[in-house]
Amino acid sequence: MSKKRILVTGGAGFLGTNLCRRLLDDGNHIISLDNYLSGLKRNVAIFEDHPDYEFIEHDIIDPIDLQIDEIYNLACAGSPPKYQADPIHTTKTNVYGVINMLELAKRNDAKIMQASTSEVYGDPEVHPQVESYHGNVNTHGIRSCYDEGKRCAESLCFDYMRRFGVKIKVARIFNTYGPYMDAEDGRVVSNFIVQAINGKSPTIYGDGSQTRSFCYVDNLIDAFVRLMASRDDFYGPVNTGNPGEFTVKELAEKVIDMTAANVEVTYHPLPQDDPTVRCPDITLAQKELGWTPDISLEKGLVKTIEYFKSIN
């Protein structure tokens, strides 16, 4: 069988870099595309000499024509400070950008996996979150460019499937961490680790009682590959996350402990619309993808701390 030509948008980002690595290891030809809004040139450089890796600097809000068999549409800043920096561009990425990728999938008769998010649940009133829960999103808050953008992206995927038969797969990604995260992107795991290894105090927003469920990136990437290979009439949306739930304060304490940092946490104001709880129900992923994340927070943090020390 000839190699699959796979497009990874957001290929220079955290998830994109880990996904490119996995797909190259599996023997595919990769076209990685990124506008470097939150992706890093350093991540692209890793694959520079790989004969099956091509990189195109491009923003998906502009159309592009390529010959491909599959698309993983990961393009969009995922960290709140990054996606809020240019909120209108964030919405365009999730509307114009997703239309462009769905049109590309349609022209190529290619499968497309859309990176959706746990943010579609907003500040959830159902806990843990099941895919059938429709969410509690503020339509005009500072997170809405991302939350509503990603909700609209899901809607576009399903309409392209119903109207044109585009082969869609929708993954709702929960908080993920691991190597190739940007040390500066402002997310909680990277912030705490980088702060602790530099002898600075981890910055807890609010009182630290809000919860998140953290999935190690290798487990998440495995879910993506399984989802792409799932039966044709399984579209999702499917939760992809680790159901282990921790408070932000617990995370800070773990990181301080594991880095043996001689620091105390500091408390800062909680950003607007910050969800109070978040935890995936992964029954559907277990049933349809045979997937259960098996890397514990401790194990994943060891690898992530090693990574940040190596680039510090």
Q: Is 240 a binder of ligand UDP (CB under 6 A)?
A: no
Residue of 175, 213, 230, 304 interacting with ligand UDP (CB under 6 A)? 175
The interface with ligand UDP within residues 31-50 (CB under 6 A) comprises none
Least distance in Å: CB of 90 to ligand UDP? 13
Strands 211-213 and 245-247: antiparallel
Residue of 77, 120, 168, 188 interacting with ligand UDP (CB under 6 A)? 188
Least distance in Å: CB of 198 to ligand UDP? 13
Residue of 187, 228, 238, 295 interacting with ligand UDP (CB under 6 A)? 187
Q: Is 246 a binder of ligand UDP (CB under 6 A)?
A: no
d(CA 13, CA 131): 26
Q: What is the CA radius of gyration of the chain?
A: 19
d(CA 230, CA 70): 13
Where does this chain touch ligand UDP (CB under 6 A) — which range of 101-109, 205-213, 223-231, 282-290? Answer: 205-213
Where does this chain touch ligand UDP (CB under 6 A) — which range of 17-25, 55-63, 197-205, 217-225? Answer: 197-205
186 close to 194: Cβ distance less than 8 angstroms: no
Q: Is 146 a catalytic residue?
A: yes
* Identity of the residue, 80 or 236, whose beta carbon is nearer to ligand UDP in the bound complex: 80
* Identity of the residue, 28 or 191, whose beta carbon is nearer to ligand UDP in the bound complex: 191
Catalytic entry in 53, 121, 146, 180: 146
CA-CA-CA-CA torsion sign (296, 298, 299, 302): positive
Q: Is 210 a binder of ligand UDP (CB under 6 A)?
A: yes
Which CA distances in Å does 204 have to 186, 187, 198, 274, 303? 12, 11, 16, 13, 22
Q: Is 80 a binder of ligand UDP (CB under 6 A)?
A: yes
11 close to 37: Cβ distance less than 8 angstroms: no
The site for ligand UDP, by CB under 6 A, has a size of 14
Return residues touching ligand UDP (CB under 6 A). Answer: 79-80, 175, 187-188, 191, 203-205, 210, 212, 248, 271, 274
